[in-house]
Structure 1
């Protein structure tokens, strides 16, 4: 919609794209622990939408929807960091699992089973599966994995910036360089059910309850398989991260 002067009516865009805020928030919630509130993400996303509204240039190459989505997601990520949604102890626990996977793989000469990983951690299988549930929400790549000491702002801010040359953007480098090939290879080596969980969750955008129904397991078991798959991938990709 345009004004009488032929410029974009941004107030109309603001109303039109508010549903995108909720859609992005709901998508992110599927990958976050239960203590994160949807309303908090939506509120942060609205701020990101307002920021996009004020920054968008009408003659920009990117569409407003693409630009706004980046700013909305960036604002939500900032909110999550402020909330410390993945406390240090959770990340430490996740990395303990990753180290156990690496050690168990070296010891067994193959992809380790859950029992192998549990033994490496000196836990029972039940205790290990409980630990997997506790690391729900840990992602494949942490901001710390991409941070440079001399960088200005967060990697997410740099990725979402409208006018910056992103040739040196760490996220873009990861997605287009060696990391992408290694990630594809690591996914190909996942146990079948774990690979299926990732495909259903990230490709088909199903939540854990829906995935559990397909796999005929409990939602908590689906979460365990998801978290173990992410831990396996991180263990496989430590060299390039």
Structure 2
């Protein structure tokens, strides 16, 4: 397995640890939507294994399997991020808005206004509204909420069976109840927007006509509503665990 210089023999390693790649891929698949292909994860994992074989040296002290597992898992998560439509920059912006909303709700005991959120982020209202425009299309739930290397997933802290597959967890009464409660806490205008969009199936132009605002303003309000919902779900996860 090792060369004379104490490095891993690449060809032997790829053969020997291919089952490890598959096992890690299957473990990850258990918490991912059905649209994710197992073979895509395995392929990414094999690249992670190759990278581990090229980088590892006996002198590092860690067991190769431990070291390789981290590289394999990281490569798979990177592949999942690549499959996601939103860039890391957009997702980062969405998280910043979400965290600002959560901090203000905890401090004020109510839903903050746009001006208050902009102030919390130390930016002007126009800049904040442009950020909302940029992140339009961000979802209420992402795969990272079930499995994440960057931060603790929060969905499994709400659901009764955190070991279930994503579909089962999405149907869980705890999560569904949390979403309903979060929607009830939305400002009336945003609550109406969500109803028009998700229940009545109106498009952005039609919603704009009902609310008497532009399509771009509907985009901003939708992004803000999603940020509020995610902030409330995270708060519910935190309080449920304490």
Which TM-score band (shorter chain)?
A: 0.5 to 0.7
1:100-139, aligned counterparts within 5 Å?
Answer: 100-139=100-139
Runs of 4+ residues deviating >6 angstroms: none
Cα distance, 1:174 vs structure 2: 3.0
Q: SS state of the match for residue 237, structure 2?
A: coil
Alpha-carbon contact 1:178-1:240 (below 8 Å) kept: no
**Inter-partner Cα distance in structure 2 for 1:212 and 1:130:** 17
- Secondary structure of 1:168's partner? coil
1:169 aligns with 2:168: no
| Counterparts of 2:212 and 2:223, CA distance in 1 | 18
TM-score (norm 1): 0.57
- Given the superposition, is the C-alpha separation of residues 87 and 148 from structure 1 closer, same or farther in structure 2, using an over 3 Å criterion? closer
* Partner residue, 2:178: 182
- Matched residue, 2:237: 240
Change (3 A) 1:81 1:118: same
User: How far is the alpha carbon of 1:171 from its aligned partner?
Assistant: 2.8
Cα separation, 1, equivalents of 2:88 and 2:124: 24
Deviation for aligned residue 1:240: 3.1
1:15 corresponds to: none
Match of 1:207 in 2: 203
- In structure 1, the gaps of 5 or more residues are 1-69, 150-166
Kept in 2: contact 1:105–1:111 (CA 8 A): yes
Distance (Å, rounded) in 2 between the aligned partners of 1:81 and 1:106: 30
RMSD across aligned positions (CA): 2.7
Count of matched residue positions in the alignment of Structure 1 and Structure 2: 152
| Rg (Cα) greater in structure | 2
Cα displacement string for residues 5-56 of structure 1 (whole angstroms, at most 9, x for unaligned residues): xxxxxxxxxxxxxxxxxxxxxxxxxxxxxxxxxxxxxxxxxxxxxxxxxxxx
User: Which residue of structure 1 aligns with residue 15 of structure 2?
Assistant: none
Q: CA deviation at 1:81?
A: 6.4
Aligned-pair CA distance for 1:177: 2.8
Is the aligned partner of 1:198 residue 2:194?
yes
Residues 139-175 of structure 1: per-residue CA shift (max 9 Å, x gap): 00111111278xxxxxxxxxxxxxxxxx922232232
Segments of 5+ residues of structure 2 without an aligned counterpart are: 1-32, 41-79, 150-162
Q: CA 1:95–1:148 in structure 2 vs 1: closer, same or farther (change >3 Å)?
A: closer
Q: Is it true that 1:217 corresponds to 2:192 in the alignment?
A: no
